[in-house]
Amino acid sequence: MKRVYLDHSATTPLRVESREAMMPLFGDIYGNPSSVHGFGQEAKKHLEDARELVAKCLNAARPEEIIFTGCGTEADNLAIKGIAFANREKGNHIITSQIEHHAVLNTCEYLAKNGFEVTYLPVNEGGRVRWEDVAAAIKPTTILITIMHANNEVGTIQPIEEIGTIAAAENKRRAALGSAVWLYVHTDAVQTAGKIPLDVRAMGVDLLSISGHKFYGPKGVGALYVKKGARIQPILHGGHHERNLRAGTENVAGIAGLAKALELAIMDMDHEQKRLGVLRDQLEAGIIQQVPSLKVNGDTAHRMASVTNISFAFIEGEGILLSLDLAGIAASTGSACASGSLEPSHVLKAMGVETTLAQGALRFSLGHQNTAEDIAYVLETVPPIIDRLRSMSPLYQKTVKS
């Protein structure tokens, strides 16, 4: 049976070059990078080379601004809790959005239960935060704005540079007033690293999270950019690793694999994103042409090239997913972390998508190995599945007959 993987927003296969970068670190180079002897220093060299490479990929001013973590979720936790707890005597207000990944939303919820005030900004129908709303939400006690770079369910890209500019103006205003409260900006760039250019200085962010497995690197390794001078505290306590910000012996192999994968993703980016955009548009247009009663979710003017999220009326995304899986096609109803829950997506809800339509949402996310042939196969397979599921749907029968 033909198999087509269209769930690259959930995770990506490991690329060969990333695996090769890791192999020596699973073999002869096994020293602890914190050890002073030759074995340790050999491992440390790989660690620091990777740090330098990641810093370069993000246009960070200094390699020390890169802190390696155990995953994207940990990078988000470190950024948000780290800034919140280190600055709590200065202010307790955090601004985020209603469409963040649960790594951010649940961290903010935890902080809200622990004395912080959190503003969850709404989004427009395309899933975009309005920068004007960000500006209006800032209070003298606001210490952190955390807004994702692009959404994992619908691919909508957020106005991060504008938010960076707003925060810079606010910090300037506060400094002129003699205030010591700094307003930090964090962005969760887990979905965009390697797909959209990231330049922490141009974006005006103090913190930025990435995760290896979203760009053909290994799972279980992430990184957080922390601008020099940021007042942040660790969330893991132990040894003095990672500038005292992330205790624990580094996953040197995973880190080397992440750095290699990021470097190559950036080298391929222009060409690959254009190619995926063409395939995605073919997929979307083909489905729209063949299937009635659907809605494309997201902001088509500000959207990642590799993602389309489509709501099929009258049926449930889970049902479509299972039928597609039997035909060898892997897609998703949205976030892998939310699958298994019958709750409609919080992202689509925030975008004002009606509950029944939100329940019929399916995300196709494209990547390296996808070809025009794959898209042709999906376009052959999807319409009859939708027809069959609709023919069994009481809601559809009732609507069509009435």
Task: Give yes or no for residue 101 binding ligand PLP (CB under 6 A).
Answer: yes
Q: Check binding of 103 to ligand PLP (CB under 6 A).
A: yes
Contact between 69 and ligand PLP (CB under 6 A)?
no
Residue type for position 222: G
- How many C-alpha atoms does 226 have within 13 Å on its Cβ side? 26
Of the two residues 227 and 363, which places its CB atom closer to ligand PLP in the complex? 363
Query: In angstroms, rounded to a whole number, what is the distance separating the alpha carbons of residues 184 and 190?
Result: 19
Decide whether 11 or 59 has the Cβ nearer to ligand PLP: 11
Q: Does residue number 71 form part of the binding site for ligand PLP (CB under 6 A)?
A: yes
Span of 127-135, 185-193, 341-349, 373-381 interacting with ligand PLP by CB under 6 A: 185-193
CA 112 to chain centre: 22
Mode of pairing for the β-strands spanning 307-312 and 294-297:
antiparallel
Q: Cβ of residue 77: shortest distance to ligand PLP, in angstroms?
A: 9
Q: How far apart are CA 158 and CA 96, in angstroms?
A: 12
Among 142, 152, 156, 381, which residue sits at the site for ligand PLP (rule: CB under 6 A)?
152
DSSP reduced 3-state for 212: helix
Residue 207 found at the interface with ligand PLP (CB under 6 A) = no
Kindly state whether residue 381 participates in binding ligand PLP, applying the rule CB under 6 A.
no
DSSP 124: -
Which of these segments, 18-26, 188-196, 369-377, 384-392, binds ligand PLP (CB under 6 A)? 188-196
71 is catalytic: no
Selected from 12, 18, 73, 156, the binder of ligand PLP by CB under 6 A is 73
Alpha-carbon separation of residue 363 from 29, 49, 120, 156 (angstroms):
41, 36, 24, 13
CA 117 to centroid of chain Cα atoms: 24
For ligand PLP, which is the closer residue by CB, 294 or 321? 321
- Tell me phi and psi for residue 46, to 5 degrees: -65, -40
Cα separation of the two ends of the chain:
40
Residue 18 in contact with ligand PLP, rule: CB under 6 A: no
Q: Which residues are catalytic?
A: 337
Positions that interact with ligand PLP (CB under 6 A): 71-73, 76, 101, 103, 148, 152, 188, 190-191, 211, 222
